[in-house]
Amino acid sequence: MCEHPSIDNTTNCCTVCGESADNFEWTKPHSVHVLDPQTNICVLCGASGPALEASCTGKGRSLIARPSGGSSHYYELPEGATELRHLIRHKHMEHGIGEAFCSLYRLNDNGEKKRNLEKVIYYCKAELEYMETKDDIR
């Protein structure tokens, strides 16, 4: 029986036996490498080449293989977040960036796509101008 040592993110299948990751019965957390299809490097632990033969350390991240590539830790919501303002505060967004974020979220609401896109552009330009004047490049 294959231990599925690595996953090809383009096919979401084991690189050894070809079985779909959707069918795996995971016995060890972080045991499977998730490979970037362009570099053949594990996106969870950075292993490549012969190091891929060892189990993935995962750097403490939850393993959710996605066919689009990469781990899903970027998509995890902070505990207790129920509104956009919770996400804005959690990510320490400036006021204008938070406004742009909200405008993108409601992009297609009430047929106001153009207006919301214009607000995104306005707030992002304002943030860039502020950064340039304050030398506040993050």
Give per-residue pLDDT as tens, 45-100. Answer: 777 777 777 766 665 333 444 444 444 566 677 888 889 999 999 889 999 999 99
Quote the CA–CA distance of 65 and 58 in Å, as a whole number: 12
Q: How high is the pLDDT of residue 54?
A: 72
Q: Find where tokens 């998509």 sit.
A: 75
Q: How high is the pLDDT of residue 24?
A: 58
Give strand pairing partners of 35: 8, 42
Average pLDDT of 33-53? 74
Q: Helix or strand or coil: residue 49?
A: helix
Q: How high is the pLDDT of residue 114?
A: 93
Q: Find where tokens 């101008």 sit.
A: 129
Q: How high is the pLDDT of residue 5?
A: 65
